[in-house]
Amino acid sequence: FPVTVWLGDATGEFFVGLNVYDYYLSNFWQIALIVFASGVAIGAISSYLAVRRYLRY
């Protein structure tokens, strides 16, 4: 996050108006929800595979 503050103006010039810092601030909750949901999904899939492998009857 602090890197985006430092690189915000440089990315705005390089990508013609796309300031990474402003993008993160305006889409913070969406990005946080995607990261959280991805973690839950990966955890659920790995738990399912582990239980299926080690708890065979």
This prediction has a pTM of: 0.67
Q: Which pLDDT score, from 0 to 100, does residue 40 have?
A: 98
Report the distance separating Cα 17 and Cα 26, nearest Å. 15
Which contacts of 24-31 are long-range, i.e. CB under 8 A and separated by 24 or more positions?
none
Q: Both tokens of residue 39?
A: 């973690």
Residue indicated by tokens 């996050």: 1
Q: Average pLDDT for consecutive 10-residue bins of the chain (57 residues)?
A: 73 77 89 98 96 80
**What's the structural domain count of the chain?**
1
Listed in sequence order, the DSSP H helices in 1-57 are 2-14, 20-26, 28-54
Range of the domain at 8: 2-54
The rounded radius of gyration (Å) of the Cα atoms in the chain is: 19
